[in-house]
Structure 1
Amino acid sequence: MGWKTNYRSFYYENAPEPDDFVFKKEETALLVIDIQNTYLQPPEDPAEQKRWAPFLKRMNSTVIPNTAKLMTHFRDNGMDVLFARIACLKENGKDRSLSQKKPGWNYLLLPKDSEESQIVPELLPQEDEIVVCKTTDSALTGTNLRLILHNMNIKNVIVVGIFTDQCISSSVRSLADESFNVIVVEDCCAAGSDELHEKELEILNMIYCHVLSSKELTSFL
């Protein structure tokens, strides 16, 4: 078992195994999405703490450490690391998209200078690494990231971050529609539950992206 056969959906159950990847380092970039302080804060309500405990455990024990290692690998090999984070420009959030203004869990008011909106300390950008702010799920829709990637001659985008079934999914679909080659690193992503994470990877795999582990990915880089 491995990336060539894992996460097969109904549509690709009997599809031929894909070929191995050949990445040009100057055409390949890592995109880290929404791993921000606000999502690493345990809820105040005890019942919610219990419900979100598996997510926080996965983030602290798997996603953040693996993403940090992957970032180091990219930097050491002269490849670009870029970031997208949820952050509004107006303090009152007037510039947010409708999805972030609606009541409920997805309501987000994260002014760009607030502590909650910042990238977690373990994964901070270095020097001139690019960070785009978005008020949409897709990292392309609400930013100039598409133009940036094209200007940098990036063709392969390696995607990590949260949430697999929301901003990761939206970003991957947007990137695929713009004809980027997309890889999602499964052990550098998380959803609210493992079930949501696994199912979304199955939905995305082989049509919008390929899903690999960080170990499998680095074997090609």
Structure 2
Amino acid sequence: MTTLPDRPNTALLVIDVQNGTVNGTHNRDTVIANINTLLDRARAEGIPVVWVQHNDDNLPRDSDNWQYVPELARHDSEPLVHKSYFDSFEDTDLEPLLAERGVGHVIVTGAQTDACIRSTLHGAMVRGYDATLVGDAHTTEDLTQWGAPSPADVITHTNMYWDWQTAPGRRGGTVTTADVTFTAKPTT
């Protein structure tokens, strides 16, 4: 279980599913459909949903590319965290929002696997959270021209290595959309 005291709750994070970050990504439509499935379940179960939205020189705030994809709809009651770094916790109000909601376990979805997803997972764990990656609800673009593995290989590798992540009193893990539970799991 989390090392954060009095934080028994779980939250669903929807990270950077913006027009400019998922356009042309691997399995885009399936990933977005899986995120919608998780949103429906989280909302039905009263689980906090937190949206994260990136901006930088390549993704300027208020541009069309900066907007969340139209297939996903944020409810007004669901907080939106603006960020400028890969780690969703870095220089944002994500930590206070989660603390206010008693969250010690985050379930991570979104884009891009090899940047903001990985950074946020590690950022969560070093801050004391349990962090679960939804293996079929994150995606990335093709960066093979710069020497990266294929997007499918990046996703597969991330799912594999995150499944084994642990730290004292904290746990990572990878699950499919169908296997997500919004209850905390004890650390083994």
Match of 2:155 among 197, 204, 218: 197
- The answer to whether the 8 A contact 2:22-2:139 is kept is no
Per the alignment, residue 186 of structure 1 pairs with 135
The letter of the residue matching 1:214 is T
Q: Whole-Å Cα distance in 1 between the matches of residues 154 and 90 of structure 2?
A: 23
- The answer to whether the 8 A contact 1:164-1:201 is kept is no
Q: Which residues of structure 1 form unaligned runs of 5+?
A: 1-25, 43-51, 94-107
Match of 2:13 among 31, 34, 57: 31
Per the alignment, residue 147 of structure 2 pairs with none
- The answer to whether the 8 A contact 1:138-1:170 is kept is yes
Per the alignment, residue 72 of structure 1 pairs with 40
Partner SS for 2:51? strand
Q: Whole-Å Cα distance in 2 between the matches of residues 187 and 218 of structure 1?
A: 15
Deviation, 1:219, is: 8.5
Partner SS for 1:201? helix
TM-score by length of 2: 0.80
Correspondence list, 1:91-102, <5 A: 93=57
Deviation, 1:115, is: 1.6
- The answer to whether the 8 A contact 2:42-2:182 is kept is no
Deviation, 1:40, is: 3.9
Tell me, yes or no, if structure 1 residue 127 matches structure 2 residue 90.
no
Tell me, yes or no, if structure 1 residue 213 matches structure 2 residue 176.
yes
Report the identity percentage.
27
Match of 1:59 among 28, 41, 55: 28
- The answer to whether the 8 A contact 2:22-2:140 is kept is no
Partner SS for 1:166? helix
How many residue pairs get matched? 165
Deviation, 1:218, is: 4.1
Per the alignment, residue 105 of structure 1 pairs with none
Deviation, 1:41, is: 3.5
Once the two structures are superposed, residues 128-170 of structure 1 have per-residue CA deviations (whole angstroms, 9 ceiling, x without a partner) of 2111111110000131211211121111110001111211000
Tell me, yes or no, if structure 1 residue 162 matches structure 2 residue 108.
no
Q: Whole-Å Cα distance in 1 between the matches of residues 136 and 163 of structure 2?
A: 14
Per the alignment, residue 20 of structure 1 pairs with none
If each structure's helix is expressed as a fraction of its own residues, which one has the higher value?
Answer: 1
TM-score by length of 1: 0.69
Q: Whole-Å Cα distance in 2 between the matches of residues 185 and 41 of structure 1?
A: 20
For the aligned residues, what is the CA RMSD?
A: 2.2
